C-alpha cells in the first residue's frame, strides 16, 4: 500500500537503546517512568583542571557480555565504545523485529548508523600514548576505531547487510538524518529494510575541555525550559530503529510498532551556534505535511530541549508559530533532562521515547522543572510523566550549524 503520492509506506518493526538511564528499551522506559536522572560525577579519566565535572555516562556496562554472541563480526570486541553501543542497540532492534540473521535479502537492506564524532575516546587515548606516554606506536586498530562509519560497518557485517551501509554526521541531528535517509531509501524502492540511528561516546578530557570553551555546559545539571537552566550536560549512548516497507513487514508477519509518517529537514543558513526560529518551524511543518495530518493531531512532542538559554526559548517560539493555539494543548518534554545530551545519538533515543509513548499511552517528563522560564510557557510535563492517549508524536532534533530535523510517528496501519 502506497501513500497518495505513490511512495511506499514505512513502518517501525524494531528498536534498541543503550543509554545512561537504561541499556535496553525496557530499562530505558522504566528509567523514564521513574523520572530517573543519568547525570552524575565524571568517571573513567582524571578530571585534572576541568571546571565541569558532571556528565550522563553509561556506567558499569560490560560490552563483552552484551556482544559475546556476535559471530560474523570478528573484531567487535576490539572496537571503540561508540561502536559497542551501536552494535548492542542494533542487536536489540533486529531481535525485536524478528529478522533472520544474516538477513535473507542482504542487497535489499541498508545500514545507516551515524555519529557526530566517531571514536573520540580512541582518538584521545592514541594521542596520550604518543605525546604524553611517549609510546612509539598506537594500537593497530586505532584507525578503524576512530572512523565515524565504523559502527555502521560493524553492524552491517554482523547482520549480513550488503546494501547501502554508511554513516551520517550532522551534530545533534545525526540520528534523525539517518532515520530520514533510511526512510527515503525504502519509500523509493531501493531497499525493503533499514537499520538506522546513531551512536555516540565522546566523554573524555579533551571533549570536555572543548565544550567548556564554548560555554554551553552546565556544572550543576541539565534543566530544560527552567529559569535556572545554564547549559547542557553531555551524554552518551545509541538509539537504533529497524524500518521496513509496510507490505514487506506484513508478508513476514512482523509486529508493526508504528508508522514513520512524516519527516522534515531544513537548514537555518544563518549561524553556527545561535539557532533560529524559522528553520525549526519549517522542519516541523514539512514533517506534518508529509504525514498528512494537521498539527492538532499531535498529542506529544519530544523537544530538542538542550537546556541552553537560546535553544529552549527559540524552540518554544517555533512550536508556538507552527501550532498556534494547539501549542498550549501539546504535551511536550525534553527527555534530555534524564539521559543527558548524547549529541548525534539523541534523535535515536528520543524516537524510541516517542514510540513507547504511543504504545503505553504515557508521556515522559521533563525532570528538574520546578520553576519554568516565563518565556517557555508551554506544557513541558514537569517532573512526573502522565497518562495520555497518544496517537501521533513528533520528535525534534536541532543541531549546531542550524541543521534541523523533525519526525512524525503515527499508528500502525491496519
Residues annotated as catalytic (active site), given as ranges: 172, 304, 341
| Cβ atoms of residues 306 and 224 within 8 Å | yes
Half-sphere exposure of 88 (CA within 13 A, CB side): 27
- Return d(Cα 235, Cα 117) in angstroms, integer: 13
C-alpha cell at 257: 510498532
| Cβ atoms of residues 328 and 335 within 8 Å | no
Question: Which residues lie below 8 Å from residue 375, measured CB to CB, with a gap of 6+?
Answer: 313, 316
Q: What is the CA 41 to chain-centroid distance, rounded? A: 23
- Return d(Cα 401, Cα 411) in angstroms, integer: 33
- Return d(Cα 405, Cα 286) in angstroms, integer: 9
Helix (H, G, I), strand (E, B) or coil at 158: helix
- Return d(Cα 312, Cα 228) in angstroms, integer: 12
Q: Strand 40-41 vs strand 54-55: parallel, antiparallel, or unpaired?
A: antiparallel
Amino acid at each position: 500500500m502506497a501513500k497518495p503520492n505513490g511512495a511506499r509506506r514505512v513502518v517501525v518493526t524494531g528498536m534498541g537503546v543503550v543509554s545512561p538511564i537504561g541499556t535496553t528499551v525496557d530499562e530505558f522506559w522504566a528509567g523514564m517512568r521513574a523520572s530517573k536522572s543519568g547525570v552524575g560525577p565524571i568517571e573513567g579519566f582524571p578530571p585534572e583542571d576541568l571546571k565541569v565535572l558532571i556528565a550522563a555516562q553509561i556506567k558499569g556496562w560490560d560490552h563483552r557480555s552484551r556482544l559475546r554472541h556476535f559471530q560474523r563480526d570478528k573484531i567487535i570486541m576490539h572496537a571503540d565504545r561508540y561502536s559497542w553501543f551501536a552494535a548492542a542497540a542494533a542487536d536489540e532492534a533486529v531481535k525485536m523485529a524478528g529478522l533472520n540473521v544474516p538477513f535473507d535479502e542482504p542487497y535489499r537492506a541498508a545500514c545507516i548508523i551515524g555519529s557526530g564524532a566517531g571514536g573520540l575516546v580512541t582518538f584521545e587515548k592514541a594521542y596520550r600514548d604518543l605525546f604524553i606516554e611517549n609510546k612509539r606506536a598506537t594500537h593497530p586498530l586505532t584507525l578503524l576505531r576512530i572512523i565515524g562509519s565504523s559502527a555502521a560497518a560493524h553492524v552491517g557485517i554482523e547482520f549480513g547487510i550488503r546494501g547501502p551501509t554508511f554513516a551520517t554526521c550532522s551534530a545533534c541531528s545525526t540520528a534523525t538524518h539517518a532515520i530520514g535517509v533510511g526512510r527515503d531509501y525504502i519509500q523509493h524502492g531501493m531497499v525493503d529494510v533499514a537499520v538506522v540511528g546513531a551512536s555516540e561516546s565522546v566523554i573524555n578530557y579533551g571533549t570536555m575541555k572543548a565544550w567548556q570553551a564554548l560555554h554551553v555546559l552546565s556544572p550543576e545539571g541539565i534543566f530544560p525550559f527552567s529559569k535556572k537552566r545554564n547549559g547542557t550536560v553531555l551524554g552518551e549512548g545509541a538509539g537504533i530503529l529497524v524500518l521496513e516497507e509496510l507490505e514487506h513487514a506484513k508478508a513476514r508477519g512482523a509486529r508493526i510498532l508504528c508508522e514513520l509518517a512524516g519527516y522534515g529537514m531544513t537548514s537555518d543558513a544563518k549561524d553556527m551556534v545561535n539557532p533560529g526560529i524559522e528553520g525549526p518551524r519549517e522542519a516541523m511543518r514539512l514533517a506534518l505535511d508529509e504525514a498528512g495530518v494537521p498539527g492538532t493531531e499531535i498529542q506529544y512532542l519530544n523537544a530538542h530541549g538542550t537546556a541552553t538559554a537560546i535553544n529552549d526559548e527559540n524552540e518554544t517560539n517555533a512550536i508556538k508559530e507552527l501550532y498556534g493555539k494547539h501549542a498550549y494543548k501539546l504535551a511536550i518534554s525534553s527527555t534530555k533532562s534524564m539521559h543527558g545530551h548524547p549529541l548525534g545519538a539523541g534523535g535515536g533515543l528520543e524516537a524510541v521515547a516517542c514510540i513507547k509513548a504511543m504504545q503505553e499511552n504515557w508521556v515522559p517528563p521533563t525532570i528538574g522543572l520546578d520553576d519554568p522560564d516565563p518565556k517557555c510557557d508551554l506544557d513541558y510535563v514537569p517532573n512526573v510523566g502522565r497518562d495520555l492517549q497518544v496517537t501521533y508524536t513528533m520528535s525534534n532534533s536541532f543541531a549546531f550549524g542550524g541543521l534541523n530535523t523533525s519526525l512524525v510517528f503515527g499508528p500502525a496501519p491496519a
